[in-house]
Structure 1
Amino acid sequence: MSTVPERTEPTAAEQLSRNLAVAAVVALILLCLAWELWLAPTGRGTLALKVLPLLPAPLGLWRYRMYTYRWVALAIWLYVLEGLVRGTSESGPGQWLALGEVALSVVAFTACTAQIRQRLAAAKTA
């Protein structure tokens, strides 16, 4: 009969990567909303809907849901691409906001990837 190892408390590295991931995703949501609704809106603000896929992410990240870390690590590249395109095609505040979007997206990706690698390594040794 095999026993499933009990979940231990997260390590300091896991907590750090989780906190970075949550902070980066929340900051990315706030940046995108502020960008499209107040700071440098394009059109009627309908581009603010781009944050909808990210809205459930902070809760799953906070609860250490591996599935959430995986899909965020994949989906975040859409925000990197948008930021790169708009950062090279816009001028003024839109360009700086796009570069901020890229920076936050890269931080979120790095934190999610670190969390995934740490958890897989821990599972491998258990």
Structure 2
Amino acid sequence: MKKHYFAAACWLALVPLTLLWDWAFAPLNTGKWLLLMKLIPLCLPIRGIVSGRIYTYQYCSMLILLPFTEGIMRLWDTSALSVGFAAAQVGLSVAFFVLCLAYLKQFKRPKNPV
């Protein structure tokens, strides 16, 4: 089994997590614009993530910092449900990052001795 399938599963799990968290269970009451601002960066690279494109994984390794940072900040929320969603988001973000690096490592070219 290819390594990118586990990373893709983590990325794809962030989409329903965000929908459930911010739309159904613990919304921030900022309207739908914040939900869209969070979902668009997650949905745009899905095709490249699923197909295992190297460039997509390279920029998504930096893009994953957005959900990670939000999850860290919302870990100190007052709602226990929101804290649970934040912990899940942080866990999925860290898992994606680690799996992404493991996937990209196989494409790294060895240095040529000069």
TM-score where L is the length of structure 1: 0.79
Provide the C-alpha distance between the structure 2 equivalents of 1:114 and 1:57, rounded to a whole number of angstroms: 19
* Aligned residue number for residue 5 of structure 1: none
Cα RMSD of the aligned pairs, angstroms, is 1.6
Aligned-pair CA distance for 1:61: 1.6
Gaps of 5+ in 2: none
SS for the counterpart of 2:52 is: coil
- Deviating beyond 3 angstroms after TM superposition, the runs of 4 or more aligned structure 1 residues are none
Aligned-pair CA distance for 1:90: 3.5
Identity of aligned residues (%): 31
Is 1:86 paired with 2:74?
Answer: yes
Alignment of 1:3-42 (within 5 A): 12=1, 15=2, 17-42=3-28
Gaps of 5+ in 1: 1-11
* Aligned residue number for residue 85 of structure 2: 97
1:46 is aligned, of 33, 41, 63, to: 33
- How many residue pairs get aligned? The number is 109
Provide the C-alpha distance between the structure 2 equivalents of 1:70 and 1:90, rounded to a whole number of angstroms: 35
